[in-house]
Chains A and B, each alone.
Chain A
């Protein structure tokens, strides 16, 4: 596609429910990143996928967070047993091959946990 796409654009859920957020990277980009933007916290790294390598999960805040990337393209970020502090905008980015390449961001998914 022309850019990184994410769905849904908004998600409202109740505390304790599981949610799945989807990211479609730019076609041909092998690197995919998830970030989270919380009020007052700025943007923080969550997880990184590069090709078929094991993902870098060093930014995941708890074991309730997980992510998959199927076929080297689409990625799903799953948050289990959501908490109110999970409310944030979740942003996905992709780059041509990771490393020093420019990252391009999607529009984000705004998650609200009631």
Chain B
């Protein structure tokens, strides 16, 4: 059974810091890895999708990488801003649906 783990569960940083969020998964058959952002009381906003043929994706200050052999993905956020404060979820897909980690709650202070 696919399991997705996110470390750390919570992270507080001052504005301007670069940071890395970690995601690990147990099933090497994964063919998609998607990162989402969730603001309190809101739905999920898709940030980046990495397909199995890719190793990384970039969007603005965000960069996500995927290493299937080690079962890990990382989300790198450059020059963090208070507006980045949210819960970040990674989700792996090895079958029909996405399997989600429990998220990392990020707080960026000004």
A residues adjacent to B (C-beta < 8 A): 4, 33, 35, 42-45, 48, 56, 58-59, 91, 93, 98, 100, 102-108
Contact = CB atoms under 8 A, between A and B. Distances in A.
A105 B89 contact: no
A33 B97 contact: yes
By CB atoms of chain A within 10 A, which of B45, B97, B99 has the most?
A: B97
A45 B46 contact: no
B83 interface: no
B44 to A, nearest CB: 4
Q: Interface residues of B toward A: which range?
A: 20 to 34
B51 interface: yes
Contacts of B103: 42
A45 B99 contact: yes
Contacts of A33: 97-98
B96 A42 contact: no
Nearest to B42: A107
A interface, over-half SS? strand
B34 A103 contact: yes
Nearest to B103: A42
Nearest to A107: B43
Given A59-B97, A100-B93, A102-B49, A91 B43 contact: yes
Given A33-B98, A98-B96, A103-B46, 18 more contacts: A33-B97, A42-B100, A42-B101, A42-B102, A43-B89, A43-B98, A43-B100, A44-B100, A45-B97, A48-B97, A58-B96, A91-B43, A93-B44, A100-B52, A102-B34, A103-B34, A105-B46, A107-B43
B74 interface: no
